[in-house]
């Protein structure tokens, strides 16, 4: 009985949180069109790009296509359905479009090269995680996990776009300036980390070196500079959202709901990038494949960069 309750709780609580956030935001009339269009867009993108392919192939990896194209959808919706100051709408729309296109086009390249013909390691790891929690029907678990990412795009991950694109104040605040600048910094750092990793792998292949550990450049400060930068990208959007949030401080329940949702978004992305589909799954297989990875773990922080060595 206790085991079944824990299984139910594991999947019920995240689902109900998404519903609560959606309902809170729907109380603001000018957000309603944005929310409804985004709901339809995300369900459509995830259905055709991830749910159906996953059902046919029993592979979850297709969510790597659906999630970034869901971000692209949010960027487009922010531009056309936001009721705020046009320069502000253009900026927040562009940030979502840039993030989505970078990952989405990368995922399409992987698809074209055949990498999605088998399950990516981080999604192979999910089966280990599900088994430990007592979930034995992988087909259902795959669809559930895909829909969780869909619901995240419908709710938490759309919050900065909703707030900022509906802010009609015609002066940018210091919070927005700091947030937007930090976003660009960490977007560039994430791209640099990916380039450094790719260059390292190409060089190792040329020199016929197998199972090498990438510990150069940004990878010498943290074992996952790409994931850390991705997390900071979302934290930057949270910072940029604080100014737009202040316009709802007279509606205390709405204000608290927005604030808690923004802070939870940071926690949600941290959990995802470290424990669910990020650092932990990656290191599980790196320890098996790469003899030098244990030493790398001992000398380098997993997530937060060690700036002073």
**For range 108-112, the mean pLDDT:** 96
Q: Is 151 exposed, middle or buried (0-12, 13-18, 19+ CB in 10 A)?
A: buried
pLDDT tens for residues 47-74? 999 999 999 999 999 999 999 999 999 9
Q: What is the CB neighbour count within 10 angstroms for residue 253?
A: 10
Assess whether pLDDT exceeds 60 at residue 101: yes
**For range 7-30, the mean pLDDT:** 87
Q: How far is Cα 28 from Cα 36, in angstroms, rounded to an integer?
A: 12
Assess whether pLDDT exceeds 80 at residue 308: no
DSSP reduced 3-state for 213: coil
Q: Which residue has the tokens 């927040």?
A: 92
pLDDT tens for residues 202-254? 999 999 999 999 999 999 999 999 999 999 999 999 999 999 999 998 888 88
Q: How far is Cα 160 from Cα 88, in angstroms, rounded to an integer?
A: 12
Assess whether pLDDT exceeds 90 at residue 29: yes
Q: How far is Cα 215 from Cα 210, in angstroms, rounded to an integer?
A: 15
Domain chopping of the chain, boundaries: 1-171, 173-309
pLDDT tens for residues 165-182? 999 999 999 999 999 999
Confidence of residue 309 (pLDDT cuts 50, 70, 90): low
**For range 181-194, the mean pLDDT:** 98
**For range 257-282, the mean pLDDT:** 96
User: Residue 230: what pLDDT?
Assistant: 98
Please say whether the dihedral angle defined by the alpha carbons of residues 259, 261, 267 and 272, taken in this order, is positive or negative: negative
User: Residue 13: what pLDDT?
Assistant: 85
DSSP state of 146: H
Decide: 163 and 91 in contact? Cβ < 8 Å: no
């Amino acid at each position: 009985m206790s085991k079944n309750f824990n299984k139910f709780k594991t999947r019920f609580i995240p689902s109900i949180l998404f519903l609560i956030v959606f309902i809170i935001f729907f109380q603001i009339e000018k957000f309603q069109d944005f929310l409804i269009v985004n709901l339809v867009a995300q369900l459509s993108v995830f259905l055709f790009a991830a749910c159906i392919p996953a059902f046919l192939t029993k592979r979850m990896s297709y969510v790597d296509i659906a999630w970034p194209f869901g971000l692209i959808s949010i960027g487009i919706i922010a531009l056309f359905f936001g009721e705020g100051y046009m320069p502000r709408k253009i900026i927040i729309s562009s940030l979502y479009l840039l993030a989505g296109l970078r990952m989405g086009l990368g995922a399409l390249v992987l698809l074209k090269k055949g990498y999605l013909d088998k399950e990516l390691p981080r999604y192979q790891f999910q089966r280990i995680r599900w088994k430990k929690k007592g979930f034995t029907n992988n087909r259902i678990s795959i669809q559930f996990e895909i829909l969780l990412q869909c619901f995240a795009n419908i709710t938490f991950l759309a919050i900065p776009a909703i707030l900022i694109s509906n802010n009609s104040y015609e002066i940018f605040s210091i919070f927005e300036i700091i947030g937007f600048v930090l976003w660009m910094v960490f977007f560039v750092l994430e791209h640099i980390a990916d380039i450094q990793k790719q260059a390292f792998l190409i060089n190792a292949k040329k020199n016929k070196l197998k199972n090498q550990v990438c510990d150069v450049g940004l990878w010498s400060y943290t074992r996952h500079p790409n994931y850390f930068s991705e997390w900071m990208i979302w934290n930057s959007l949270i910072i940029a959202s604080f100014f737009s949030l202040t316009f709802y401080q007279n509606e205390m329940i709405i204000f608290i709901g927005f604030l808690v949702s923004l802070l939870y978004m940071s926690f949600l992305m941290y959990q995802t990038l470290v424990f669910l589909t990020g650092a932990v799954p990656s290191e599980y297989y790196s320890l098996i494949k790469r003899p030098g990875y244990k030493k790398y773990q001992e000398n380098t922080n997993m997530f937060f960069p060690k700036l002073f060595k």
